[in-house]
Structure 1
Amino acid sequence: MRQALSGIVSKSASPLKTIMILAMAMTFVVAGAASSLAAKSAAIVVDAKTGKVLYSANADGRRYPASLTKMMTLYLTFEAMAKGKISKNTPVVFSAHASAEAPTKLGVKPGGSVAVETAILSIVTKSANDSATALGEMLGGNEANFARMMTAKARQLGMNGTVFRNANGLPDPGQFTTARDMATLGIALREHFPQYYGYFAQRSFLYGRQRINGHNRLLGRIKGVDGIKTGYTRASGFNLVSSVNDGNRRLVAVVMGGTSGGSRDNQMAGLINTYLPRASTRGGGDLIAKADSNPVSALANVLLPKHDAPTPDEKPVAVAEADTDVADDATVAQGDSEDEDTAEAEAPKLVVPAKKVKTVIVSAPKVATAQVVAAYAEPTPAVDPVNTASVPSGWAIQVASSPKQSEAQAFLDNTTKQAPKALADATGFTVAFDKDGVTYYRARFGGFGSKDAAWKACTALKKKKIECYAVQQ
């Protein structure tokens, strides 16, 4: 570089001319580095109602997921909850392995436990690596088995470019994904578990006397953003999956390989502002097929590649930010420092209008230390989620109630067939509740932006002699 510049700048050149030439040369160098980084980034925007790809850049390129991995950990957790295998109050015991995970973490000592709901909240806000591992060990018996279940579920959802090696996203050369696969998972989480999807909108929660704040800076600042997950390691760069719902349109957007949290957030904000108006207001039904969740078949149906499988290209270091984005190199070198306030000393301000959103604080339940059986505990009667913060906000309509979840689901399916137009933008789901010691299941359709919209759908159903009433969630 010095030799090249010396050939350009003559000894007789004036100081001002020399400065101007050097400035131009450095501009070209920085521009070249930025171009190289752009080639390593990846992004995709998908219409979450139709599945249409509205924007794509390197969407099928192999990337490290970092803490986006936890989206699949939560998918399998929600699946176990929906099937009654565990409840939000089931204790999650932390093994020595889980407790020893690198930060960020909740900090539970070996043998200690928290409720499933606390583990979930610590993952969506703090991105707690120890909580993710503990959940994986509870559901899979050990983390290696759980990783196989995660990869098997990925295949069932159509995520063919993804392999999981652990439950939390800490660096592993054999763990990789694509932006397209992460969009698929984001859509599946809302489609398959609308009753739990509201967890992703949590911006903070109380753990004992400690308030734990989240890392997703777009929540409450970009209109319509209701989740999902951030991710960061040095190898992956700054990742983000965002879900957007403005009442009529829904998007899932993914940005991977950002050079900083602020630039990643600004890129995501730009994608949302550009492509949300182009999304459809009418849906075409479920986009992601629901697959058998039997853990035995999940383990049998997947063959993981060897550890020498091809891995994502090494992410280059930004010229202007080399070794300046991390305050605690030791922590980040171990793995996933999701604390972006530490990883990035000062993030740029978003260039979009801000909107204040009330923060919901959820106290962590006190649970006794107990050993939970691996792989799927016996069902524990669930509390009515309508009275908790675990369901999506908005309005829903209820069409039936049954002591059997299969009957409630069948009623949802029949209702959809009888009134497809009235429920075109709605999502059916069941809600468990206890009455006199017996668990019942309410059959509901959610996704209505207002009380009037919910009642309008009810009126259409009543014309077909289907009883219905609207409820606010």
Structure 2
Amino acid sequence: MTSRLFARPGLLAPLKAMLSAIMALALVACQSTELTSAGLMSASAPRAASSLASEAEIRGQSTLVLDYASGRTLHEEAADGLRYPASLTKMMTLYLLFEAIGEGRLSLDSELVVSENAASKPPAKIGLKPGTTIRVCDAAQAIAVKSANDVATVIAENLGGTEEGFAAAMTAKARSLGMSRTLFANASGLPDPRQISTARDMATLGRALLSRFPHYAPLFSVTEFEYGGRRFKATNKLLGKVAGVDGLKTGYIRDAGFHLAATAKRGGRRIIVVVMGGEKGRDRDAKVIALIDEYLGAARFAER
């Protein structure tokens, strides 16, 4: 499916109407965040134990299958082992972006300024130029589909003032969602030894992202999109090929291996499958497919 979700005629207005109806959730005490003129800054960042980072396993393998409706764990292998989350990190970047929109701090048409720092990030990226701007709707699409590192930093700097400030807000939000073994140091998942998480925490995040912001779910099922005269294909290769798969996020850095947090629905039941530490992308994908078939049954047709 080729799409620019927010650019479709007649779709932007309903989305805006839905967003205006979303009530801001109160953030918990010392884990609260506040969007000010200086950006989205953590009121008091949680005291994550930095010593945990030293326990993260290089290319450690973890698996977790979660029933979406109940939150019940159906299958797990080393699900609490500390791993480098790579671009699964961007699920939290989008969570905070969607939250800011829902609270009226931004709109889908708001322009985010691109700094030299953001533009300099390594691929995957969409090639933003310093001093230009990108609309929030395009930024969300670029993160969900292409996993663009330059866009992740743009979001972080515009909402957090600095990427470090935004990362503190990400970690605070993680704690409020029950992600007890996650620490964020940047918005993209680019290599940083302090950036750690687990398969269980990433499944928790994926479920929270979809349940709180279901109107954005179509973003994650898009197989390609156009921006700036270029066409970008989705990093999730299961989309359009495996029945019922309609998201969510891939990830890779050398020390992490190949990750995928996938959501799939068959026969009216939805699950979230997280596989971390695949040696190769095709091995990771094969494991995710096998788990989907095991817990949803072999597919005879694709459901939407």
TM-score by length of 2: 0.78
After superposition, what is the alpha-carbon deviation per residue over 1:63-109, rounded to whole angstroms, capped at 9, x for unaligned? 00000000000000111111121111111111111011111111111
Q: In the aligned structure 2, how far is the partner of 1:86 from the partner of 1:259?
A: 39
**8 Å CA contact 1:100, 1:130 repeated in 2:** yes
Q: Secondary structure at the match of 1:196?
A: helix
Q: Which residue of 2 aligns with 1:236?
A: 256
Q: Which residue of 2 aligns with 1:189?
A: 209
Q: Secondary structure at the match of 1:119?
A: helix
Higher relative contact order, structure no. (Cα contacts within 8 Å, ≥ 6 residues apart):
2
- Report deviation, 1:354: 9.5
- Report deviation, 1:181: 0.2
- Asked if 1:106 corresponds to 2:106, the answer is no
Quick one: structure 1 residues 89 and 54, their matched pair in 2 at CA, closer, same or farther if it must change by over 3 Å? Answer: same
Q: Which residue of 1 aligns with 2:138?
A: 118
After superposition, what is the alpha-carbon deviation per residue over 1:274-317, rounded to whole angstroms, capped at 9, x for unaligned? 0124xxxxxxxxxxxxxxxxxxxxxxxxxxxxxxxxxxxxxxxx
Can you give the 5+ residue segments of structure 1 that lack an aligned partner in the other structure?
Answer: 1-36, 278-351, 358-393, 395-473
Q: Which residue of 2 aligns with 1:82?
A: 102
**8 Å CA contact 1:93, 1:134 repeated in 2:** yes
**8 Å CA contact 1:205, 1:212 repeated in 2:** yes
- Report deviation, 1:264: 0.4
Q: In the aligned structure 2, how far is the partner of 1:60 from the partner of 1:52?
A: 15
**8 Å CA contact 1:124, 1:199 repeated in 2:** yes
Q: Which residue of 2 aligns with 1:224?
A: 244
- Asked if 1:176 corresponds to 2:180, the answer is no
Q: In the aligned structure 2, how far is the partner of 1:89 from the partner of 1:224?
A: 31
Q: Secondary structure at the match of 1:171?
A: coil
Tell which structure's C-alpha radius of gyration is larger.
1
Q: In the aligned structure 2, how far is the partner of 1:67 from the partner of 1:182?
A: 11
Q: In the aligned structure 2, how far is the partner of 1:123 from the partner of 1:168?
A: 9
Q: Which residue of 1 aligns with 2:71?
A: 51
**8 Å CA contact 1:201, 1:227 repeated in 2:** yes
Match of 2:286 among 259, 266, 272: 266
Corresponding letter in the other structure for 1:72: M
Can you give the 5+ residue segments of structure 2 that lack an aligned partner in the other structure?
Answer: 1-56
**8 Å CA contact 1:42, 1:58 repeated in 2:** yes
Give structure 1 regions of 4+ aligned residues with deviation exceeding 3 angstroms.
352-357
**8 Å CA contact 2:166, 2:187 repeated in 1:** yes
Q: In the aligned structure 1, how far is the partner of 2:283 from the partner of 2:169?
A: 34
Match of 1:212 among 201, 219, 232: 232
After superposition, what is the alpha-carbon deviation per residue over 1:115-158, rounded to whole angstroms, capped at 9, x for unaligned? 11111111112111000000011111110010000000000000
Q: Secondary structure at the match of 2:215?
A: coil
Q: Which residue of 2 aligns with 1:130?
A: 150
Q: In the aligned structure 2, how far is the partner of 1:63 from the partner of 1:262?
A: 20
The within-5 A match list for 1:280-319 is none
Corresponding letter in the other structure for 1:81: I
The within-5 A match list for 1:442-453 is none
Q: Which residue of 2 aligns with 1:61?
A: 81
Q: Which residue of 1 aligns with 2:61?
A: 41
- Report deviation, 1:355: 6.9
**8 Å CA contact 1:241, 1:255 repeated in 2:** yes
After superposition, what is the alpha-carbon deviation per residue over 1:162-205, rounded to whole angstroms, capped at 9, x for unaligned? 00000000000100000000000010011100111221111111
Corresponding letter in the other structure for 1:131: V
**8 Å CA contact 1:94, 1:110 repeated in 2:** yes
